[in-house]
Amino acid sequence: MAARIYVDNFKDKVIDSPIPVLVEFYSDSCVACKKLAPVLCEIEEDYEGKISVFKVNTNYDQVLAQKFNIKSNPTLVLFKEGVDVDKQIGAKEYNDLSDWIDTNI
């Protein structure tokens, strides 16, 4: 399961990461976020060593949500070399998500 990160460790875990990072911006009450959770677990396992996967709770880390212009949950942001290279909004199926990752990493 993707580890939750916070504003105080975001730079270390995401911006300074030597490998690409997929960040899910979510909230606990989001039904689509709950639907996406098992897909992200599978992505995390299948892409181990190629990307890191983390979660940011938009209810508690509003600074990060504002910084990356997050308007709805879930929003997936892919970071490469510390830069947000692309976004996806809403729950995704495994194949759609893996194709998107492969295209961007």
89 token code pair: 């909004």
Per the confidence metrics, is the pTM higher than 0.75?
yes
Report how far Cα 99 is from the mean position of its chain's Cα atoms.
15
Per-residue pLDDT reduced to its tens digit, 28-86: 999 999 999 999 999 999 999 999 999 999 999 999 999 999 999 999 999 999 999 99
Range of 75's domain?
3-104
Which residues are known to be catalytic?
Answer: 30, 33
Please enumerate in sequence order all residues whose Cβ is within 8 A of that of 100, keeping only pairs 6 or more positions apart, or say none: 78, 86, 88, 92
The tally of domains found in the chain comes to 1
User: Alpha-carbon dihedral of residues 77, 80, 44, 34, nearest 10 degrees?
Assistant: -10
- pLDDT-derived band at 17, boundaries 50, 70, 90: very high
Tell me what pLDDT residue 54 has: 97
Residue 25 belongs to domain with CATH number = 3.40.30.10
Tell me what pLDDT residue 75 has: 97
Tell me what pLDDT residue 1 has: 81
